[in-house]
Amino acid sequence: MAEEKKQSNKINRRDALKGFATLPVLGAFGYGMYKKWNAERLKKHSITNELGLDFSAESTFQPIAADGKTLRLGIIGYGIRGRQLMQAAGFAKPELIDEWKKGAQQNSNDRRYQDFLEQEHLNITINGVCDLFDVFADDAMRAAANVNREGTNGKMNPTAKRYRRYTDLLQADDIDAVIIATPDHWHAQMAIDAAHAGKHIYVEKGLTRTVDEAFALRKAIKETGVIMQLGHQGRQTDSYNKAREIIEKNVLGKISLIEVCTNRNDPNGAWVYDIHPEGNPSTIDWAQFIEPTNPHPFSLERFFRWRCWWDYGTGLGGDLLTHEYDAINQVLKLGIPHSAVASGGVYFYKDGREVPDVFQAVFEYPERDLTFMYSASLSSEYFRGKVMMGHDAAMEMENVLTVYPDRRSTRYKEQLEAGILDPEKPMISYIPGQSQVDAVTSATEQYFAKRGLLYTYIQGKRFDTTHLHIKEWLECIRQGKQPSCDIDQGFQEAITAHMATIAYRENRKVFWDAENEKIV
Amino acid sequence: MKENNLSNRQLLVLVIARVLMGWYCLYEGMVKVMNPNWSSFAYLNDSQGWFAGIFKAMASNPGLVSVVDFLNEWGLVAIGLGLILGLLTRVATISGVVLISLYCLSHPSLIEANYMLPSSETAMWVGKNLIFVFLLLILLLFPTGHIIGLDRLLFKKKN
């Protein structure tokens, strides 16, 4: 019996064969893995190493200097953008905080409250507010007082004074710098007056409503030496810096065509903003509103939806082309184009507006051998993105960067033939903060988020680019440096946008006489 | 030794199925192990459906995420090896059922669900992972590791 058991416990040849029958599968698996790994290593090696790109180097977070001076700010204009700028600077209405708190309770993906609390304190106080609409001015006062970022039951610390005229705010001794977020027709005059009053300036885009104003503003900034930042927060987008690196390494080859676009499809995105129920001639200082532009009888539509009229706004050219242009300009240093043509019309929003809702502009840069093309629709969200087309590769530049090799590239001919590169597949993709999932609310916000205009990612953490843009400006004031979107960059942006607008409105090709600095 | 009531053909098909499923798990594990940047964070955070809250809470705890990462990477490798080699087949199969069921719970194939990350193919409520779970259950009910596999040698004494 014992003998028999021993016999059956012994592993015989048959057992060994059956036991190890599937082992060769592992050999095949290992061989496959090795081949795959080797192909990927080769691919990685041949692309990033050969191109000398190092994407592992992420931008780092620089906290503001602890010993820096507390800066005292004034805010001029507390409409939609003014509110966003104040929030980005750390000040929000208590009612809004209540709303965010509620949102976070209902939806764990709603990070507005958490993000706002975590946003770095910029060491500033808001000492003056100015808005021509009483309700907005009152809101701004309450936001300025909410230094502890609390809801309606929190402890407020009122520091700001309301000014009915911006010139009085500029004369105040307890204000070092101003944020100007008014309609475009006031930008230049306010910024010029601020410069002469020795106040540093953060001004929204488009820089000016007219060409002459752009020259006058540049002169004022240069003469007074105040620190000015133009509100193109895309300057803070991490992927644009990587894009610059890609361009500097000539990954794309000779770039001959750049295409950028705007695609929106909701009334808010088309500037049909809400008309506030409390807006009326006694709550709005209409006379001051129209002071620097053509006179017009009181109009709620014109006050709240000013972007739709040339008297106050700059249309798609000044409002949205400028964002796309500035993104490209910071990467390629294009400067002012040699010529511009433009076309379009009011094709969808037949609400009495003057500015087109479909708009195309084509700029030529003969010295750079390239065309820069913008096309926009406010009635279709079909996404096209910013694309730089080079002989060797094309790059899509949003918050995510994607580079596709060109099928007929000379530089990558060998790799394409060897199958290491595939024109259908990106040879480089840079995805900052790819692990973030988030609920973003409105269509307009999604539009901006996709374009890298709302958030950027530093070391995997999400940052509001507007916050970083304001922070950069404040740090430059403290350290006497020039910010990334200074008056020279702003001047290029303004002239480029004006060339397109003039080309459209006068229905002609417009040229830039660089020698005499004149649009002809 | 009584092997089973399976015919040779049945046995052959079951063993091949076991090896192929093992291959799949091993591959999924190996690519995660070999990618130093891989993390379960995004997947957890992208969870939807009834249990999304639990998975998202896990994602918000960095310590827990690294545990989940380790269990996923090496768990899949171990399950894959177990199924291919027929080694501790029963443990490997049960672990596979548990792990892949968790994927199903975190990313249920809800028709209205819209996942950010590319996930497994779904045909309305029925997804690849769900089918995978039931294929593993078949392997559990019709075990083959003790016939063709290292379990044959390992559990020899008990037979």
φ, ψ (nearest 5 deg) of residue B4: 180, 175
**What span, in angstroms and rounded, lies between the C-alpha atoms of B105 and B135?**
17
Could you tell me if A184 and A497 are in contact, meaning their C-beta atoms sit under 8 angstroms apart?
Answer: no
Rg from Cα positions in chain B: 17
Can you name the residues that pair with A518 across neighbouring β-strands? A513
**What span, in angstroms and rounded, lies between the C-alpha atoms of A50 and A44?**
9
Per-residue pLDDT at B3:
53
Domains and CATH numbers, chain A: 71-234 (3.40.50.720), 239-464+484-519 (3.30.360.10)
| Tokens 């695609």 found at | A263
Give per-residue pLDDT as tens, B27-82: 989 888 887 667 777 777 778 888 888 888 887 777 888 888 899 899 999 999 99
Q: Minimal Cα–Cα distance from B15 to chain A, Å?
A: 9
* Least CB–CB distance from B84: residue in A11, A26, A108: A26
Instruction: Please answer yes or no on whether B153 and A25 come within 8 Å at the CB atom.
Output: no
- pLDDT per residue rounded down to tens, chain A (520 residues): 455 555 556 778 888 899 999 999 999 999 998 888 877 666 655 566 667 776 655 567 788 887 789 999 999 999 999 999 999 999 999 999 999 999 989 887 788 898 899 999 999 999 999 999 999 999 999 999 999 999 999 999 998 999 999 999 999 999 999 999 999 999 999 999 999 999 999 999 999 999 999 999 999 999 999 999 999 999 998 889 889 988 998 999 999 999 999 999 999 999 999 999 999 999 999 999 999 999 999 999 999 999 999 999 999 999 999 999 999 999 999 999 999 999 999 999 999 999 999 999 999 999 999 999 999 999 999 989 899 999 999 999 988 888 899 999 999 888 888 777 889 888 877 776 543 333 334 455 555 555 555 667 666 667 889 999 999 999 999 999 999 999 999 999 999 999 999 999 999 999 999 999 999 9
Dig out the tokens for A375 from the structure. Answer: 């096309």
Q: What sign has the CA pseudo-torsion A141, A449, A120, A154?
A: positive
Per-residue pLDDT at A259:
98
Q: Minimal Cα–Cα distance from B92 to chain A, Å?
A: 16
Q: HEC states along A286-299?
A: HHHHCCCCCCCCCC
Instruction: Please answer yes or no on whether A9 and B116 come within 8 Å at the CB atom.
Output: no
Per-residue pLDDT at A81:
96
Task: For residue A26, list chain B residues with Cβ-Cβ distance below 8 A.
Answer: 81, 84-85
Task: For residue A8, list chain B residues with Cβ-Cβ distance below 8 A.
Answer: 1, 159
Per-residue pLDDT at A434:
46
* Least CB–CB distance from B148: residue in A18, A26, A37: A18
Mind giving me the DSSP string for A230-245? ES-GGGG-HHHHHHHH
**What span, in angstroms and rounded, lies between the C-alpha atoms of A94 and A377?**
36
Instruction: Give chain B's contact residues with A (Cβ, < 8 Å).
Output: 1, 15, 19, 22-23, 26-27, 30, 34, 39, 41-42, 45-46, 53, 56, 81, 84-86, 116, 147-153, 156-157, 159
Model confidence at B1, pLDDT cuts 50, 70, 90, reads very low
Per-residue pLDDT at A441:
40
Rg from Cα positions in chain A: 28
Residue A393, H or E segment: strand A393-397
* Least CB–CB distance from B30: residue in A9, A33, A436: A33
A517 close to B (CB below 8 A): no
Instruction: Please answer yes or no on whether B56 and A108 come within 8 Å at the CB atom.
Output: yes
Residue of B20, B139, B153 to mutate, interface with A, max A Cβ within 10 Å:
B153
Task: For residue A33, list chain B residues with Cβ-Cβ distance below 8 A.
Answer: 27, 30
Task: For residue A434, list chain B residues with Cβ-Cβ distance below 8 A.
Answer: 42
Task: For residue A25, list chain B residues with Cβ-Cβ distance below 8 A.
Answer: 19, 22-23, 84
Per-residue pLDDT at B31:
83
**What span, in angstroms and rounded, lies between the C-alpha atoms of A371 and A340?**
10
Could you tell me if B110 and B62 are in contact, meaning their C-beta atoms sit under 8 angstroms apart?
Answer: no
Per-residue pLDDT at A440:
37
B-chain residue closest to A7, CA distance: B157
Could you tell me if B111 and B124 are in contact, meaning their C-beta atoms sit under 8 angstroms apart?
Answer: yes
- Nearest alpha carbon to residue A170 among A151, A152, A149, A192: A192
Per-residue pLDDT at B60:
78
| Tokens 């808001």 found at | A126
Surface of A (25-54) touching B: CB under 8 A = 25-26, 29, 33, 37
Per-residue pLDDT at B58:
83
- Nearest alpha carbon to residue B148 among B20, B11, B13, B23: B11
